[in-house]
Amino acid sequence: MNNKRLLIIAVICLSAAALVIGNSDASQSTISSKIQFIESSHHDPAELKELGIQINDDLSKPNDHSISAKQSEDAVNAAKTDAPGYAEQAKIIEVEFHHITNSDFKLFSEDALKSNPTLSKNGFISNAPCFIVTFIGIERPGKTSVRGQVPKTFTEYSVVVDAISNKVLYGFSYR
């Protein structure tokens, strides 16, 4: 009788594990179906400039950089790790490739600095090949320093990923 109970419990546990693993794979394929590699940016150049970001490509024209699907997926995976939950919540995940300069931002992780000698030497991004991974259709509460002021809720979050080392450099929101 005890063996029969143990067998039933084992079958239930294995079934539950298979369901969890199956849902994990389904979740990954759902995320993959949201990824769009775009050739020209939807970002607002004035907003980017205000954030200290200079894209050294013409944002209104498609760029001719040959980027593999694997490189795009790797950038999305790095961004997902940096911004947990946004990939699942997003309606669309846009991936762009640009050469970026941002001399204002200097708070990089030790890992990012070690992985990119130019970044380590200069202390800032200078015409660096990067991916911008944007999670669109999310709800990300902002912050405010004014007591009583309701913070803005952002619907997009972008992560800048070094295209050479695949390390996350920083993230930003303005929409």
For 63, residues 6+ apart whose C-beta sits below 8 A from its C-beta are 39, 40, 57, 97, 98
Q: Other CB atoms closer than 10 Å to residue 76's CB: what's the count?
A: 24
Report pLDDT for 65: 61
37, 67 contact by CB (below 8 A): yes
pLDDT surpassing 70 at residue 160: yes
pLDDT surpassing 50 at residue 9: no
pLDDT tens readout for residues 45-59: 999 999 999 998 776
In angstroms, the CA 87 to CA 72 distance is 14
β-strand pairing of 92-102 with 35-37: parallel
Closest CA to 36 of 92, 102, 83: 92
In angstroms, the CA 51 to CA 138 distance is 20
pLDDT tens readout for residues 71-129: 889 999 999 999 999 999 999 999 999 999 999 999 888 989 888 888 878 889 999 99
Residue 91 gets which letter from DSSP? S
Q: Other CB atoms closer than 10 Å to residue 9's CB: what's the count?
A: 10
In angstroms, the CA 151 to CA 86 distance is 19
Three-state DSSP class for residue 47? helix
pLDDT tens readout for residues 21-30: 344 445 566 8
Q: Which of 7-11, 12-16, 104-108, 131-135 has the highest mean pLDDT?
A: 131-135
Mean of all residue pLDDT scores within the chain: 81
Report pLDDT for 170: 95
Residue 84 gets which letter from DSSP? T
pLDDT tens readout for residues 132-157: 999 999 998 888 778 888 888 999 99
Report pLDDT for 147: 85
